[in-house]
Amino acid sequence: MHVAQYNLGRFYEFGVGINKDENKAFDLYQKSAENGFINAKFQLGYCHVNGIGIEVDKEKGFELYDKAIERDDNIGLRYKNEEEIVNDLDKVSYWYKKAAESENKVALYKLGELYELGKGIRDDTLMSFEFYKKSAEKGYVNGKYKLGYYYDHGIGTDINKERAFSLYKVAAEEGNSDAQKNLALLFEQGEGTQKNIDDAIYWYNKAMENGCQEVKKNLDNLLVIRHMLTG
């Protein structure tokens, strides 16, 4: 029940398959949090800090973050020991608080990562997508790459190869090796852009220069193909 309330709250907050309604989202997060769901407690705190469905009250939000890291027997079943529970929940609380500092772009990325990996909170692709998106919008290169990856693979959103290409390109130009590798692959396969072997080779080379040796086979294959085409 509490998980369903939380999930419905997300849909209302982000307008996924339903009309966006932040007030309803807040009410559902509150009900879920009252039933002890960790994710909802953190999200309810985030609502207070950012004025989502309620007036901004950072003090109340931080209080909810602190309450969320208190021991919960239900969540304890997923961890090896008490120390692991406390450490993971402390990390979530820490990054939520950092994110409240002028929408800290690194903290927003870290929250996306925590929701993606399910560290301290249950994995949640929709929440992960939203935090990566906020981080990217703030200009964080890793956030841009991750957002591109989510669009590329349809994680927490619909597949959009063109959007993925644009985000990879920006992040690749800023030096992110993962973005360079994936941008090269899109050029190689002609997804989200026109197929272009020369551009694919260029970005595979850039990725290798940045230590991404796993692309060597792709690069060597394309060099052979280009040699055959050019005679």
- Kindly report, residue by residue over 130-189, the tens digit of the pLDDT: 999 999 999 999 999 999 999 999 999 999 999 999 999 999 999 999 999 999 999 999
How far apart are alpha carbons 20 and 47 in whole angstroms?
15
Same fold for the pair 1-101 and 140-231? yes
Choose the CATH number for 1-101 among 3.40.1650.10, 1.25.40.10, 3.40.50.2300, 3.40.50.720. Answer: 1.25.40.10
pLDDT tens digits for range 188-221: 999 999 999 999 999 999 999 999 999 999 988 8
- Of 86-100, 117-131, 143-157, 211-225, the range with the highest mean pLDDT is 143-157
Which three-class secondary structure state does DSSP give residue 81?
Answer: coil
For 130-159, b/e burial (b = at least 16 CB within 10 A) is: bbbbbbbebebbbbbbbbbbbbbeebbbee
**What per-residue confidence (pLDDT) applies to 85?**
55
- 51 pLDDT higher than 70: yes
Please tell me the pTM assigned to this model. 0.87
Domain boundaries, the chain: 1-101, 140-231
- The two tokens of residue 9 are 């709250």
Average pLDDT, the chain: 89
**What per-residue confidence (pLDDT) applies to 69?**
81
Q: Which CATH superfamily is domain 140-231 in?
A: Tetratricopeptide repeat domain (1.25.40.10)
How far apart are alpha carbons 221 and 227 in whole angstroms?
10
Nearest in space to 167 (alpha carbons), one of 138, 136, 198, 194:
136
**What per-residue confidence (pLDDT) applies to 78?**
45
How far apart are alpha carbons 138 and 39 in whole angstroms?
24
